[in-house]
Amino acid sequence: MHSRSMSRFLVCLIEFVTAIGLVIQPVRVSAQGIAGLLGGAFDTGPNIGGCPVFTTKNIWNTPVVQLPRSANSDNYVARIGASSSLHPNFGSTPDNGIPVNLIGPNVPQVPVSFLYADDSDPGPYPIPANVRIEGGPTASSDSDRHILIVDVVRCLLYEVGGANPQPDGSWSAGAGIKADLTVDMLRPLNMTTTDAAGLAVLPGLLRYEEVAQGEIRHAIRFTAPQTQKAYLWPARHFASSITDTTYPPMGARFRLKANYNISGFSRNNQIILRALKIYGMILADNGSPWFLTGKPDPRWNDDDLHQLQQISGSAFEAVDEAALQMIPDSARVDPTKVVQLPGGLGLGLGSLLGLLP
């Protein structure tokens, strides 16, 4: 079969599997054989400003369409709200969502003091004078006020939460992190970040440019009203005193059920919903139920996005991604258990094809 035809065939196959939840019988095939069939031409992941948003083997960027359903799924969904609506917490106006600032390496560094200094990477940070901030410049001083900055030359990520400018040109904030976007290191255990789960915000941000390209290749960040005093990989931190295990822990991953019919939605919404089926979403903070985080962009159609509110929590299920973990302090998945398919799609080898003993 011609390579382009083979690629199209594989895309159609995975879309079919995703759409109907088809169970493929185990087949004994070597991982080397699969790698030879697919090659590395499609091994691409999300990027911003020419920089990767972590690697293609990062758990954020790994499909979960064929992972097993979590034994706690029903409880988690009920606690978040089975009848509560999915909500896109972003839109066309600058103050609706979390903006991203793209900079070069020559932006001056400014001092930043942190409330949670022990959990933060110390300043200074390259915060431009005209920096865009969550909620806009007039957002309440005690709101989340995230600042996300990407140095697109060095592919470095800077995130500051609860950021407020000071008269002397410095900033005060709750917490801040610096990260190399080309590697998959996690924060130390029990350390918070600008997110309660101890994760970076950027990799879970839903961006219009991804929708315009026709595919979202990563999980999406979302919030829940009450969470458990616990966390699951890749999360590193909890933000609750609730020990009842029926509540979802930080880092819990959910996906839109495979049999949920998305054909009646617009093209853009179908792209978002397809990503929720394939990559799912990661619980990263306390907040309103099923609120998806995105980047504001004037190209969003707010009326169209509101159509996503037809979907209730009962359309989702929690998955168990523990088998994908390879190293405790890394977000990198075990590469022997994941195959990247054309267009950035992928499936767990063990669950889809029974490749591993």
Q: pLDDT tens for residues 146-162?
A: 999 999 999 999 999 99
DSSP single-letter state for residue 229: S
Distances (CA, A) of 312 to 80, 216, 254, 320, 326: 11, 21, 13, 21, 33
- Model confidence, pTM: 0.84
Is the separation of the CB atoms in 150 and 49 below 8 Å? yes
The C-alpha atoms of residue 46 and residue 78 are separated, in whole angstroms, by 32
Position with higher pLDDT, 148 vs 32: 148
**Phi (first) and psi of residue 196, to 5 degrees:** -60, -25
Express as a percent the part of the chain with pLDDT over 70: 82
The C-alpha atoms of residue 224 and residue 15 are separated, in whole angstroms, by 29
Q: First CA to last CA across the chain, in angstroms?
A: 29
* Per-residue pLDDT at 310 exceeds 60: yes
Residues 234, 80, 289, 146, CA torsion sign: negative
The C-alpha atoms of residue 264 and residue 261 are separated, in whole angstroms, by 8
The C-alpha atoms of residue 191 and residue 120 are separated, in whole angstroms, by 8
Sorting pLDDT into bands at 50, 70 and 90, what band is 36? very low
Assigned token pair, 181: 């976007």
The C-alpha atoms of residue 56 and residue 182 are separated, in whole angstroms, by 10
Lowest mean pLDDT, pick from 134-143, 154-163, 222-231, 287-296: 134-143
Is the separation of the CB atoms in 233 and 213 below 8 Å? no
Lowest mean pLDDT, pick from 5-14, 45-54, 111-120, 347-356: 347-356
- Letter string b/e over residues 274-283, b meaning 16 or more CB atoms within 10 A of that residue's CB: bbbbbbbbbb
Sorting pLDDT into bands at 50, 70 and 90, what band is 43? low
Query: Which residues, 6+ apart, have CB-to-CB distance to 324 below 8 Å?
Result: 59, 62, 67, 333, 334, 337, 338, 348
What is the per-residue pLDDT for 350? Answer: 37
Distances (CA, A) of 161 to 123, 154, 172, 177, 321: 13, 22, 9, 9, 28
Residues 171, 174, 178, 181, CA torsion sign: negative
The C-alpha atoms of residue 157 and residue 154 are separated, in whole angstroms, by 9
Query: Which residues, 6+ apart, have CB-to-CB distance to 67 below 8 Å?
Result: 319, 320, 321, 323, 324, 348, 351
Sorting pLDDT into bands at 50, 70 and 90, what band is 337? confident
Coil, strand or helix at 1: coil
Sorting pLDDT into bands at 50, 70 and 90, what band is 285? very high
Residues 60, 66, 72, 78, CA torsion sign: positive
What is the per-residue pLDDT for 277? Answer: 97
| Averaged pLDDT of the chain | 86
What is the per-residue pLDDT for 179? Answer: 97
Phi-psi region of 81 (alpha: psi -120 to 50; beta: other; left: phi over 0): left
Segment (H or E) for 15:
helix 3-20
